[in-house]
A and B are shown apart, each in its own frame.
Chain A
Amino acid sequence: MDLFHNLAIGFATAAQPANLLYAFLGCLLGTLIGVLPGLGPLATIAMLLPITYALQPDAALIMLAGIYYGAQYGGSTTAIVVNLPGESSSVVTTIDGYQMAKQGRAGVALATAAIGSFFAGCVATLALAALAGPLTATALLFGPKEFFALMILGLILASVLSSGPFIEGIGMVVLGMLLSLVGTDLNSGSQRFAFGIPQLFDGLDFVPLAMGIFGFAEIVKNLEQDDKLSLVTQKITNLFPTREDFRRMVPAMLRGTTLGTLLGVLPGGGAVLSSFASYTLEKKLSRHPEEFGKGAIEGVAGPESANNAGAQTSFIPLLTLGVPSNVVMALMVGAMNIHNIHPGPEVMTKNPTLFWGLIASMWVGNLMLLILNLPLVGLWVKLLTIPYRYLFPAIMVFCSIGVYSINSGTFEVYEAALFCVFGYVLIKLQLPAAPLLLGLVLGPAIEENFRRAMVLSRGDATVLLTSPLSASLLAAAVIAIILIMLPTIRARREEALQE
C-alpha cells in the first residue's frame, strides 16, 4: 500500500531522536504560552517563530506544528479552569468546561479534552495522509485561472466565517491584498508602494504585522478591560472520567472528530468553525439538552475533538494546494517561506521526507500532548495565577526580540510598533484582523495567477467563467455570498459567531 509506505517514510523521519525532541519542545512551549489567557495559537506561533530560525527545515516545521497543537491545547486548559478562552476555538469549551470545573470536575474535563483531542488527532492524521495524494494530483491539473478562483473562494469563505458584518470582512481582505503589493513587482522588477525604503523592497513582512496586531495591540486591549481571573480551583484531583462519563463522551468524540475532519478541509474553515458546529450538533442530538451550559461532558468532548481534528485537517489545503485556509495556516506559509519551502503540490513530490515527516509528527505531537498534559496540569494552572501586570511585559519582551531577529534589524521593530497602533484602531472599529492577514499572505499569488490567466486568454476575463472548474469554484463563492445575505442565515450566523 502506498499510504503505508508513505507513512513509514514519515515515521522514520518523525522518530529521529532530534525531531522527537523538537516535537516535544514545541508541544511544551506551545502549551506554556498557549495557557496564558489572551494568547492564542497565532500569537504563540509568531512569538516562538524566531526559535525555529536556526533549525533544519523539517525540524523547524515539526516544532512549529507542535507549538500549534500545544497552544491549542493550552487554550482549552484556560477555558476550563478560568472560564477564559485562550483562543477563539476554545470559546465553546468555556461553556460546559468551566461549569464542570465549578462542580469539582475540572480534572475530568481536562482529561476529556485531552483524550478527545488525541483521538481526533489520530483520525485526522490518517485523513490527511489518505487525502494528500489525490488532492495533490488534482492540484497539478490546476492552471492559473483555477488557482485564482480557488483563492477567491477561500478568501470569501474566510470573511463569511469571521465575526462582524460580511462586507467589512471582505474590505479587510482587499486591504490586506493591497498591503501585500508593497515591494518589488516580480514581473517588471519595479518597486511599488516602497517609497524608496530599501527594507520595503522585499514586501511587508507578516511577522511584525501579526505581532503588532495580535501581540501588542491585544495587550493594550486587555489592559483596558482589566477583568480579574477567577480560578476555580488550585488543586486538580481525580483526572479519570467514570464509566458513565465514557459512555456519554465517546459518541460525542466520534461525531466531533468527523465534523472537524470535514470542516477543517474547507477553505476558511478550521478549528473555530469546527468547535462551534460540534457544540450545536451535540446540543441538538442530546437527550438532555437542558444539561448543556451546566456542565454536560458532551459539550467538552465534542468541540474539543472537533477543534483538534479541524486544526489538523486545515493543513490539507495548505500542503496540497498551497492555499492557507485560515490565519494560523497563513502564518505557517510565512514560516515555511523563511526556510525556503513554498507550500503547494510540489512539496510532496520534491520533498517527501519533509512532507510525510510533518504528517507523522502530528500524530507524535498529539501523543506527547496526552502524556505531557495530564501530569503537568497542576503546573499549567499555577501559571494562571501570575498577575497580568507581570505577564504582559514578558510578552512584550519575547515579541520584540522575535521581531528584531527576523532580519537582525530594528526596522521590523518600528514596523511592529506602527501595526500596534493600526491594530488598536481595528479593535476600536471592531474590524476583524484575520481576513487582513489572509489577504496579505494570498495577495501576491492571486495577482500572479490573475495576470498569468489574463496573458493566456489575451486579456479576456470571461475565461474565468468558461472553464468548468474555475466557474464552479467562483459559483460556490457567489452562493456563499448570497446565502450570507439571506436574513434568516444572517441572524443565525451572528448568533453563532458572537463571542
Chain B
Amino acid sequence: MIEPDGTDRHAQARRLREAWRQPTGWRYWSAVNNNVVGLWYIAVTLLFFIFGGVLALLMRWQLARPDNDFLSADRYNQIFTLHGSVMMFLFAIPIFESVSILLLPAMIGARELPFPRISAFGFWAFTIGGLFLCGSLFFDAAPQGGWFMYPPLTSRYQPGIGADIWLLGFSFIEVSAIAAAVELIVGVLRCRAPGMRLNLIPLYAWYVLVAGVMVVFAFPPLIAGTILLELERAFGWPFFDPAGGGDPLLWQHLFWIFGHPEVYIIFLPSVALIAMIVPTAARRPIVGYSWIVLAAIGTGFLSFGLWVHHMFTTGLPGVTLAIFSAASMAVAIPTGIQIFCFLATLLAGTITRSVPMLYIIGGLSTFVIGGLTGVMVAMAPFNFQAHDTYFVVAHLHTVLIAGAVFPVVAGIYYYYPLALGKLLSERLGRVSFWLIFTGFNATFLPMHLTGLMGLPRRVFTYPAGLGLEPLNLLSTAGAFVLAAGFAVMAWDVVRPKSRRPYAPRNPWNAGSVEWLQEIPGLPWGVRTIPFVDRRYPLWETPNFLRDYDAGEFFLPDAEEGRREMLVTSSIDAEPLQCMRIPGPTFITLFAAIAVGGIFIFPTFKMYSMMGVSAAVSLVVIVIWLWTGTAEIPEKARKPIGRGATAPLYLSGRHAPGWWAMGVTMLAIFSAFISLVFGYFFYWTRHEIFMPDDAREQAVWAVIALVATVAAWASTLLARKWNAADRAAAFYAGTLFGVVTAVAGGAALLAHPYFSDLNPATTVYPAIVWLLAIWSALHLAVGVIMLLYCAARRLAGRMTANYDMDIVNVALYWHFTMVTVAITIAITAGIPYLA
C-alpha cells in the first residue's frame, strides 16, 4: 500500500514486525516483551494459586470432623502458614503485577513498558523464590509461624529453617514485586499515548499507579522487619527479645504497616478491572470518573492509617486504638464511593449480560458483606471478642475473594481474547460462576458463626460436642464445590482451542484504547501509537480505528530495526522522547539466579556462598547495565510521525531512568525509615535504652559526616564537570568522591566499633550497628556507581551530552546523603538529647 507521499505502509509494517519478532526455539525463554512475560507471569501465578488452593482443601478435609487425624498438628501448621503466605505473596500481589505487565501498555496505548528487562527479571526472581518456598513443604521444612510470622514464636521457638525460608524467600520475592511496581509507576506516568492527559487516563492505570506507589511504601517496612528478625535468628541480635531490651511488638508494627496496605494493594487493581469492564457492559462511559480517582488515591492514603487495627488486643493505649479505629471507619468512605459509581454506571446504561459481569455482580455483592464485617472488626470492643477466631477468617476471605479473586476471574474472561485471541466458553463460564459463588458462600458464611461460637483460628482440630460439627462440615463441602468451580474455569482456560475461531476484533464492543489491537495480537503491541483525546476513543473519536490501521499515528515504522516507544510528559502526555528499548536476553534470568543466591544460601547458613552470589550478581548486573542501558544513539532526533520529531536520548528529570531511580530510592528510603522507626520505638518504650557512655567516640561520626558530604559534593561537581566536558575535572571529582566515600563508610563503622558496642548483647548496640551498616552499604554502592560512571566516560559510552549515568547516580547520592545524615544524627546526636 503506497501512500501519495511515497510511504509504503506494508514495508513499514514488515520492518516493525521484524524489530519486535519473538525469539523461537530454546531462545523463546529469553523473551522480554510484556505480552510474553506477562503471560508467563500470570501462568506461574495461577499455578501458585492452585497450590495454595490444594493446601486449603487439605485443611478443610482435616477440619471436616472433630478430633480428625488426617494431618498432624505440625503438618497443619506448615500448611496454613504456606496457604496464607502463598495466596498473599505468590498469588494476590503477583496477579496484580502480572496482569498489569500484560495489559497496562495496551491500555495506555504504549508498545511496551519502559523497562522490559526489569519485568523479565522480576518474573524469574518471583518464580525462583516461589519454587523455593513452596518446595520446602515437600521436605517437611516449611515455615510454621503463620503468614504474619510473629516473634517470639518464630524467633525462639522454631529452630528449624522454616522461618528462615519464609523471611529470606519472601524478601527476594518482595524485591521482584518492588521492581515491577517501579516499572508500572513509570509506565503510567511517562509512557502514555500522546494526548492522554491526566483526565483521560484509563481508570485501570490510575489504580495501578496508586497500588504501585503503595507497594513502594508498604513493602519496605516488611523488608526492614525481616532483616531484624533474620539478624536475631542468625546472629542473636535481640531486636524482638525482651531479655535484651527488644520488643516483639515492633515486628507487629512493621508487619502490619506492610500488611494492611497490602490488602488494598490487592483490592485496588481488581477494582480497576471492574472499572474497565463495567462501562463496556453498560454501553456508556463510567459515571463519576473523578470520584473514582478520588476513591483510588484516598484509599491509597487512608490504608496506611489502619495497621494497628490488627493489634487491638496487644494492650496499646485506648486513645491509640481509637485513632486507628477512626481511620478504619474513614476508609469505608472511598471504598463505598467507587462501588456507588459502578452501580450508577450500570443503572444509567443498558446492561449486557456476560460472564465477566456475572462475576463482577457476584463479587461486588459479596464484597459489601465482607466490607460490613470489616467495619464490625474495626470497632475495638467487637474486635476484642472476634480476634483470632474464625470470624476474622471469614471476614478476610470474604473481602479478598469477593473483592480480588472474582474481579480477576472476570478479567480473565474479559481479556482472554486480547491476550490469546479466543473467547472463552460462555456456558462453562456460567457453570464455573455458580459453582464458585455457591461454594464460596457455603464455605465462608458458616465460618462467621463458628467464629462467634468461639472456634479459634490456626488450631488443627476441635473437640466434638460444641455444636461446631455441622457448620465445619458445610464449610468443607463448600470448599470442594468452590474448587470444582475453579477446576471448570481452569479447564476452559487451558483446553485446546485450535478449532475455535479467533474472536472478532473488539469482541465486547468496548470503548477503551486497548481494544484497538488486532486479534490475534502481534508482538509489536500496537501497530502505531495512537493520539488519544477521549476517555473512550473507540466510541468517541471519529475514524480512530481506521487511522490506527492505516498507520496514521505515531512511530508506524522501525527504520533502524530497533524496538521503539514514546516517552511523554506526566500531566499532558506531550511526546518527549523516542525511547529505544532492549530486546531478548538471558541476562535477566542469570541476574535472578545470582540475586536469588544472596537470599537462598543464608537460609542454610552458607554465608560464603552468599558472598559469592553477591559478587556474581554485581558482575551480571554491571554487564546488564553496560550493554543494555544509556546507549548513545547514532543521531540526536528522529521523526516520530504526524510531522513531529523527538530526541532519541533523554537525561535528567524527564527521563524514565531518572524516575525509576527516584522511585527505587524512595522504596529503599522507606525501609531505612522503618529501621529509624524501630530506634524510636525502643527509645519511647524503654526507660533505659542507651548505655551511659553512648556519647563517646562521636568524633568518628563527625568524620563520617564530613567525608560523606565531601563525596556527595564531589558527585554533584563531577556531574557538572561532565556536562561542561571537562574530562580531567570529572575524573578528579569521581576519584575524590570514591576516596571520601570509602573514608566515610569506614568512619561510620568505626563509630560503633570503637564504642565497644556488641550487637548480640542488647538492642541499643544492635540497632546502632544496623543503621551504621545500612548507611555504609549505601556508600559502598555509591562508590561502585561512581567507578562505573568513570569507566563509561573512559569507554566513550558517556559524554557531555549523553550523561544519563552520572545524572542518575547523582540522584542516588542525594538519597545516600540524607540516609547517612539521619543515621549520624540518630546514632551520635540522640545520646546528647537523652
B partners with A? no
- A-side residues, CB < 8 A to B, are none
